[in-house]
Structure 1
Amino acid sequence: MCYSAQVTQNYREYVRLFGADIDLKEFVRLYWERPKSKARIAKGLDAAFADADGDDARTIKSLIDTYNDDQIALIEADLVKQRDRLAAARLTLQKQVTKKASEDLRIATDKIAKGLAKLEDILRPELQPRDSRIFPGWYAPVMISEQGRHVVKPMRYQCRPAGKPEFYDTKFPGTYNARRDSLEGFWQQQFGYTHGVVMATAFYEYVRRYRPETRAPGDNDVDEKVVLEFKPSTGEPMLIACLWSRWEGPGGQELLSFAAITDDPPPEVLAAGHDRCVIPIKAKNVDAWLNPDPQNLAALYAILDDRERPYYDHRQVP
Structure 2
Amino acid sequence: MCYSAKVWQAYQDYVRRFGAVIGIREFAQLYADRQKGAKVKTTKAMDDAFLRAGTSETRGIAQAIEAWNAEQIAELERLLFRQRRRLVDAERTLRTKSTKKALDDQRIASNRIEWAKGKLADLHRTVPVERDSRIFPGMYAPVMVIEQGRRVIKPMRYQCRPAGKPAVYDTKYPGTYNARRDNLEGFWKGQFGHTHGVIVCDAFYENVSRHKVEGCALADGEAEENMVLEFKPQPQQDMLIACLYSHWQGDGEELWSFAAITDEPPPEVAAAGHDRCIIPIREEHLDTWLNPDPNNLADLYAILDDRQRPYYEHRMAA
TM-score (norm 1): 0.97
Q: Distance in 1 between matches of 2:117 and 2:287?
A: 45
Match of 1:306 in 2: 306
State whether residues 229 and 314 of structure 2, in contact with CA within 8 Å, keep that contact through their aligned partners in structure 1.
yes
Q: Give the superposition deviation at 1:15.
A: 1.0
- Cα distance in 1, alignment partners of residues 13 and 188 from structure 2: 29
The corresponding residue for 1:137 is: 138
Among all aligned residue pairs of Structure 1 and Structure 2, give the percentage whose two residues are the same amino acid. 58
CA distance in 2, matches of 1:12, 1:312: 27
- CA gap of 1:245–1:93, structure 2 versus 1, over 3 A, is same
Is 1:253 the counterpart of 2:284? The answer is no
Q: Secondary structure at the match of 1:27?
A: helix
- Contact 2:263/2:276 (8 A) holds in 1: yes
Contact persistence 1:5–1:202 (CA under 8 A): yes
Secondary structure, in 3 states, of the residue corresponding to 1:211?
Answer: helix
The verdict on how the C-alpha distance between 1:213 and 1:221 changes in structure 2, with shifts beyond 3 A counting, is same
2:167 paired residue number: 166
Q: CA deviation at 1:209?
A: 0.8
Deviation at 1:165, TM superposition (A): 0.9
What does residue range 26-65 of structure 1 map to in structure 2 within 5 Å? 26-35=26-35, 36-65=37-66
Partner of 1:177: 178
**CA RMSD across the alignment:** 1.6
Structure 1 218/20 Cα, relative in aligned 2: closer, same or farther at 3 Å? closer
In the alignment, residue 150 of structure 1 is paired with which amino acid? Answer: R
User: Please, which moves more after superposition, 7-16 or 177-186?
Assistant: 7-16
Question: Unpaired segments of 5 or more residues in structure 1?
Answer: none
Cα drift, residue 221 of structure 1: 6.2
Residue pair 2:207, 2:227 contacting (<8 A) in 1 also: yes
Aligned pairs for 1:49-128 within 5 A = 49-128=50-129
Correspondences of 1:224-263 after superposition (within 5 Å)? 224-250=225-251, 252-263=252-263
Shift of 1:248: 0.4
Counterpart of 2:291 in structure 1 is 291
Query: One-letter code of the match for 2:253?
Result: Q
Cα displacement (A) at 1:55: 3.4
Q: Which residue in 2 is equivalent to 1:279? A: 279
Equivalent pair of 2:213/2:271 in contact (CA under 8 Å): no
Rounded Cα–Cα distance in structure 1 between residues aligned with 2:9 and 2:150: 20
What residue number does 1:6 align with?
6
1:257-302 per-residue CA deviation (whole Å, 9 max, x = no partner) reads 0000000000000000001000000000000000000000000000
Q: Which amino acid aligns with 1:10?
A: A
Whether contact under 8 Å (1:6, 1:201) holds in the other structure is yes
TM-score, scaled relative to structure 2: 0.97
Amino acid at match of 1:91: R
Deviation at 1:214, TM superposition (A): 4.8
Task: Tell me the CA shift for residue 314 of structure 1.
Answer: 0.4
User: For residues 108 and 54 of structure 2, what CA distance do their matches in structure 1 show?
Assistant: 44
Query: Does structure 1 retain, via aligned residues, the 8 Å contact 2:6–2:135?
Result: yes
Q: For structure 1, which segment, 89-98 or 127-136, has the greater mean C-alpha deviation from structure 2 after superposition?
A: 89-98
Using the alignment, how far apart are the partners of 1:239 and 1:217 within structure 2? Answer: 37
- 1:28 touches 1:56 (CA, 8 Å); kept in 2? no
Instruction: Give the direction of change, closer, same or farther, for the CA distance of 1:217–1:265 in structure 2 (3 Å limit).
Output: closer
Equivalent residues, number: 317
Post-superposition offset of 1:164: 0.9
Cα shift at 1:148: 0.8
In structure 1, give the amino acid aligned to 2:128: L
Give, as a single letter, the amino acid of the residue that structure 1 aligns with 2:113: I
Question: Structure 2: which amino acid aligns with 1:313?
Answer: E
Report the residue type matching 1:97 in the other structure: S
User: Quick one: which amino acid aligns to residue 311 of structure 2?
Assistant: Y
| Aligned residues of 1:142 and 1:152 also touching (Cα < 8 A) | yes
Aligned counterparts of 1:141 and 1:288: Cα–Cα separation in 2: 20
